[in-house]
Amino acid sequence: MIRCISCGKEYDDDEIIYNCTCGSILEVETEVEDIPRETFENRRDNIWKYKEFLPVNADNRVSLDEGGTPFCKCEKIGKELGVDLYVKVEGSNPTGSFKDRGMSVGTTKAVDLGVNMVGCASTGNTSASLSAYAARAGLKCAVVLPSGKVALGKLAQAMFHGAKVFAIDGNFDDALKTITELALDGELYLLNSINPFRLEGQKTIGFELVHDLGWESPDRVILPVGNAGNISAIWKGITEFRDAGYIKDTPMMTGIQAVNSAPIANAVKAGEDTVTPVENPDTIATAIRIGAPVSSVKAMRAIKESNGTAETVTDDEILDAQKYLARTEGIGVEPASAASIAGLKKLVENGDVDKGERVVCIVTGHVLKDPNVAIDACEDPTPVSSDPNEIRNVIRTL
């Protein structure tokens, strides 16, 4: 069943609907029988390991073996910041971001519904993922992107997997309005995170991280927030595992936004319950360059219910954290993903994170998604002849 998160109105699972008649957003109510957690132990490490919690027909699954991503203890950064730090590396998903979890379930739902055309607006990763899963499922796919504001790797993926790619003169929020109109006209099945079935796939990050910790909750989960679906989905996953009796405690959900694209963090910091959109969002972390997050109500609820918080970081802090993670722990992430590490650092400095806290940072996309930012952050390769002595002289000074 699909339920409105504001007025509680219920809709049938097979109704194609993105907003309640009251205007608010929807979520899927997962009905799960009593399942002992041992059920999941000997299954393959992907999102379908938790298939009883996924409200689609698992026999029809559209899958690229997404999920089961690395969970790395980061001793060095953890020690420097005084926390017990783990990083969930979502860039290791098939198309290089967490979106694959959502698209696997979302395109499976599209197949269940019998639609033949899917679509999305995107800052890049959603389109990269949807175009791959649409190809896998044999569905037609249309994506609308903000012209000139999508990182090269993501654009290449969307085009290469065969989606019809449209570039608009506007930002992501404008692109979402355009594609939503087409979806409401019945032209395509919308697979942005306003579609509650998308988020059912992404809630598996919450499942995995408590499973990764030996069926324990961390004290805190920190992640970048853009359209705000992921923080809402992870919280949903964690509370479903709590309600199933698999864990007792839950983490403080902590969202990080770029300072000039921070409607949710601004509201949290001002102690307000409602989120005011940011008109012209801007940041080098193009994935989270979003001014009017569609899931802001769900995200605010997740932060409030979990006793969490939100913080802003500057572009410089993001770029420093991206390099720091790559060079200290060997984990290469795109700028938006590094916002979680930048945010952790700031929260520690401000005394908002206690010493010794067990923290899981979600790093959402791979460094190769945005090769220009990575190359610009480094010195050019040193030109040398084939004489090994030229190299020897340099490496002895390293």
Ligand X SMILES: N[C@@H](CCOP(=O)(O)O)C(=O)O
Ligand Y SMILES: Cc1ncc(COP(=O)(O)O)c(C=O)c1O
Residue ranges of the annotated binding site for pyridoxal 5'-phosphate are 125, 226-230, 364
Question: What is the smallest separation between the CB atom of 278 and ligand X, expressed in angstroms?
Answer: 15
Among 107, 127, 180, 230, binds ligand Y (CB under 6 A): 230
Question: What is the smallest separation between the CB atom of 346 and ligand Y, expressed in angstroms?
Answer: 17
Tokens of 156: 């290449």
Strands 26-28, 2-4: pairing kind:
antiparallel
Q: Does 171 bind ligand X (CB under 6 A)?
A: no
8 A C-beta contact, residue 3 and residue 12: no
Among 288, 310, 321, 360, binds ligand Y (CB under 6 A): 288
Question: What is the smallest separation between the CB atom of 191 and ligand Y, expressed in angstroms?
Answer: 13
Site string for ligand Y, 169-208 (x = CB under 6 A): ------------------------x---------------
Strands 71-73, 84-89: pairing kind:
antiparallel
Could you tell which of ligand Y, ligand X, none binds residue 312, using a CB distance below 5 to 8 A set by kind?
A: none
Supply φ then ψ for residue 26, to 5 degrees.
-115, 160
- Toward ligand X, which CB reaches closer, 122 or 322? 122
Stretch of residues binding ligand X (CB under 6 A), selected from 57-65, 87-95, 119-127, 386-394: 119-127
Site string for ligand Y, 107-126 (x = CB under 6 A): ----------------x-x-
Residues 225-254 that bind ligand X (CB under 6 A): 226-227, 229
Phi-psi region of 330 (alpha: psi -120 to 50; beta: other; left: phi over 0): left
Angle at 208 between CA 131 and CA 338, to 5 degrees: 65
- Toward ligand X, which CB reaches closer, 209 or 288? 288
Q: How far is CA 68 from CA 150, 211, 212, 353, in A?
A: 27, 10, 9, 28
Question: What is the smallest separation between the CB atom of 12 and ligand Y, expressed in angstroms?
Answer: 26
Residue 378, burial from CB neighbour count under 10 angstroms (0-12, 13-18, 19+): exposed
**In which order are the strands placed within the sheet that holds 189-190?**
164-168, 140-146, 117-121, 189-190
Could you tell which of ligand X, ligand Y, none binds residue 122, using a CB distance below 5 to 8 A set by kind?
A: ligand X
Question: What is the smallest separation between the CB atom of 276 and ligand Y, expressed in angstroms?
Answer: 17
State the angle between helix axes of 204-212 and 229-243 in degrees (0 to 180), rounded to the nearest 10. 60
| H or E, element range at 108 | helix 99-113
d(C-alpha 163, C-alpha 167), whole Å:
12
Stretch of residues binding ligand X (CB under 6 A), selected from 16-24, 71-79, 124-132, 262-270: 124-132
Tokens of 79: 């020690």
Write out the residues near ligand Y by the rule CB under 6 A. Answer: 97, 123, 125, 193, 224-230, 287-288, 334, 336-337, 364-365
Write out the residues near ligand X by the rule CB under 6 A. Answer: 120, 122-126, 172, 192-193, 226-227, 229, 287
